[in-house]
Amino acid sequence: MLPSGLKETQLRESNNNQKVHPQPMEESINQNPEAMEALISNLFGNISSLKSAYIELQSAHTPYDPEKIQAADKVVISELKNLSELKHFYRENNPKPVCVSPQDSRLAAEIQEQQSLLKTYEVMVKKFQSEIQNKDSEITQMLQKIDEANQKRLKLEKNLKLRGMSTNEGSGGDGNLQFPDLTTELFISTYEAAAKAVHDFSKPLINMMKAAGWDLDSAANSIEPDVVYAKRPHKKYAFESYICQRMFSGFQQKNFSVNSESAMVMADDDTDTFFRQFLALKDMDPLDALGTNPDSNFGIFCRSKYLILVHPKMEASFFGNLDQRDYVTGGGHPRTAFYQAFLKLAKTVWILHRLAYSFDPAAKIFQVKKGSEFSDSYMESVVKNIVVDEKEENPRVGLMVMPGFWIGGSVIQSRVYVSGVKVLE
């Protein structure tokens, strides 16, 4: 046995060696060469895979392929995670000596690693958000295209339905009747026909005034006072204005001021019915249409407009009595030449209204007030070759002869008489 003093000396040395030189954990990889070799092999393999994934990510950008980029991104993230796991595995099995420094180097390394991963995830999140926004934009565009396609489909279905309706709703029972397409051009041509009808009806109206001994100058001035006409014959536009003001009154309403219990009620969105009524009357003689159904909406419209347009004093001076007026008031439609001329005018205005509400959205009427500054953007002078003095103020509207319309993105100019201008011969 060793002496007691020597034994205590050896124990002290042994304890001191343990404090100054701590031994690694029993399961340390350094004590297992095969585990270390496997770890290094996995590390090299992981780095090779990461390099390959990064090359795939670069190649996916030229040409730009979102699906390949997304797939390559996932592989890169996966390989980075594998590297992180290898690092954790190594550190857990190879702990460093305890550090007495205020800052723990291992904790700092962990924080740095987590920050790096966080930055990587932030980049990926931003990229995914950008892709989501792009997809949302594509979805919005596709929905707009679908909506446009549905609108075109509805228009085609409407045209097909109208083309397939019974010829009894058309004119004269012609089996070969051709139905026009619902277009802006159709509305413009119908508008031109209405303007011509106003002009045509003003002629017999003025002639009957002359025959009755009316003072036409005074009559024109009573319609719209203080209009400076370039020529005396231009006063005819005052009578055309008078006709338009009364015939187009209430045009902005769907029922066109036809208020009667017997009038057919129109659905708010029944554009097909409006277009069908337009087609049914477009080529018919108005008196024949009224003979078939004198109390139709069109018949009610004609009676109400005649009573507004032709004042009792006017009619008495024309015919010497009010018999025709009484006949119309009683629900009839006389076959006199004057009333038939009026019916041609009433028909063109009525079918223009039917056509306006065949569109979705409907064509909108607008009027120009007397004294408005003339603008060729939405006005047209009924007198051509007008001369505007640059030294004088801008010309002003004296009369609105025909209202204008907005239809879709187009403007049909209002027709006006410009007051106080000169006209080239």
Cα–chain-centroid distance for residue 205? 44
Confidence of residue 179 (pLDDT cuts 50, 70, 90): low
Rg (CA), the chain: 46
Residue 24 confidence (pLDDT) above 60: no
The single-letter code of the amino acid at 163 is R
The DSSP secondary-structure symbol of 373 reads B
Segment 273-321, tens digit of pLDDT: 899 999 999 999 999 999 888 889 999 999 999 999 999 999 999 999 9
User: Among 7-11, 64-68, 258-262, where is mean pLDDT lowest?
Assistant: 7-11
Whether residue 243 contacts residue 345, with contact meaning beta carbons closer than 8 Å, is answered with yes
| pLDDT tens, residue by residue, 359-373 | 989 999 999 999 999
Who's near 333: CB < 8 A, 6+ residues apart? Answer: 287, 290, 291, 294, 299, 302, 303, 339, 343
Is the pLDDT higher at 40 or at 5? Answer: 40
What pLDDT, on a 0 to 100 scale, did the predictor assign at position 372? Answer: 93
Q: 319 to each of 322, 324, 402, how far by Cα in Å? A: 7, 9, 29
pTM passes above 0.85: no
Amino acid in position 399: L
Q: Cα 126 vs. chain centroid, distance in angstroms?
A: 33
Is it the case that residue 21 has pLDDT exceeding 60? no
Q: What integer pLDDT is reported at residue 328 of this predicted model?
A: 94
| pLDDT, position 11 | 43
d(CA 295, CA 111): 90
In this structure, what is the dihedral angle of CA atoms 195, 199, 204, 209, given to the nearest 10 degrees? 120
Name the residue type at position 394: N
- The CB-based long-range contact list for 349-352 (8 Å cut-off, 24+ gap) reads 349/194, 349/197, 349/247, 349/248, 349/251, 349/305, 350/256, 350/281, 350/298, 350/301, 350/302, 351/190, 351/277, 351/278, 351/281, 351/282, 352/187, 352/190, 352/191, 352/193, 352/194
Token pair recorded at residue 266: 């129109």
pLDDT tens across 87-123, in order?
777 777 776 555 445 455 666 666 666 766 666 666 7
Digit-coded pLDDT (tens) for 220-267: 999 999 999 999 999 999 999 999 999 999 999 998 867 655 455 554
Q: What is the DSSP letter of 167?
A: G
Cα separation, 160 vs 349, in Å, equals: 26
Q: What is the dihedral of CA 103, 105, 111, 113, to 10 degrees?
A: 160
pLDDT band at 159 (very low <50, low <70, confident <90, very high): low
Tokens of 22: 């701590």
Percent residues over pLDDT 90 in the chain? 45
Q: Which residue has the tokens 């565009």?
A: 141
Q: Determine the pLDDT at residue 207.
A: 95
